[in-house]
Amino acid sequence: MSFKQYTELSKEKKKLWTDFNWTLKDCANDIKEGFGNIVSIMKLEQVANKLVRDYWETAKGEERKLSKNWNLLDYDQQQKLIRYWGYERTRIKNNFLTTAEQLEKQSQTYLKEIESAKFHEERGKINCECYWCAERKGIQVEIKEDKTKKEQCPECKKWVKELDEESGVCKSCKKKYE
């Protein structure tokens, strides 16, 4: 994106450019008159930084928009992308990845899993078919089974959570015998 195209995008961009021009003229007039005002130079630096930062952000955004559209790429760029992704697919398929790349890919999958877990927790997904929800349901069922697992006392025939290890009876029966 050329600077001229940038200034023609909106009124805000045009205003940034005109502010820069006015500040630059003020600074040049101060120098012509024989005294350099440090305040005008600092203001020029501020306005220039703001203009450059906004220009780069806008240019990058426009570039991303254009690069995401396959139809806007010319034939050579399309062929280059096809070769690149073919090469990457072959590397992955034949396990030519370095340890660092494998760890990076693994961390990306972990991050995706964490994001999906947060998403489900925040929104309270019900009857979801995804892997994470199915895994979580299985764990919850096991926990419920462990909580509901009770044993029957051989003396009083009551169902209790756990029997005494030494005597093999419930706590109330053990108290009766003591």
pLDDT tens-digit series, residues 71-123: 777 888 889 988 988 888 887 777 776 777 778 888 888 888 888 777 766 66
pLDDT of residue 67: 61
pLDDT of 145 higher than 70: no
Are residues 139 and 64 both part of a single domain?
no
Last residue of a domain, one of 79, 96, 113: 96
DSSP state of 107: H
Based on the domain organization, do 8 and 87 belong to the same domain? Answer: yes
pTM of this structure: 0.35
Statement to judge: residues 76 and 134 lie in one domain? no
Owner of token pair 């093999």 = 168
Say yes or no: 9 and 58 in one domain. Answer: yes
Q: Measuring CA to CA, how many Å separate 155 from each of 110, 162, 175? A: 52, 14, 12
User: Could you tell me if residue 103 is inside a domain?
Assistant: no
Residue 131, domain member (yes or no): yes
In this prediction, residue 39 carries a pLDDT of: 80
Report percent pLDDT > 70 for the chain.
76
**Does the pLDDT value for residue 161 go beyond 60?**
yes
Q: Report yes or no on 109 lying in a domain.
A: no
pLDDT of residue 147: 57
Separation between Cα atoms, residue 126 and residue 86, nearest integer Å: 39
Count of domains forming the chain: 2
Is the predicted pLDDT of residue 144 greater than 70, yes or no?
no
Tokens found for residue 12: 């805000």
- Same structural domain, 72 and 9: yes
**Distance linking the first and last C-alpha atoms of the chain:** 91
State whether 139 and 81 are in the same domain. Answer: no
Asked whether residue 84 falls in the same domain as residue 135, the answer is no
More confident call, 91 vs 67? 91
Mean pLDDT, residues 136-145 taken together = 64
* pLDDT number for residue 4: 75
Confidence at 166, pLDDT banded by 50, 70, 90: confident
Query: Which whole number is the average pLDDT over 127-146?
Result: 64
Q: Give the rounded percent of residues in the chain with a pLDDT score beyond 90.
A: 1
Among 47-61, 79-93, 134-148, the least confident range: 134-148
Q: What domain range includes position 61?
A: 3-96
Please provide residue 152's backbone torsions phi and psi, each rounded to the nearest 5 degrees.
-100, 130
Do 25 and 73 fall within a single domain?
A: yes
Average pLDDT on 41-62 reads 85
Distance between CA atoms of 19 and 86, rounded to whole angstroms? 49
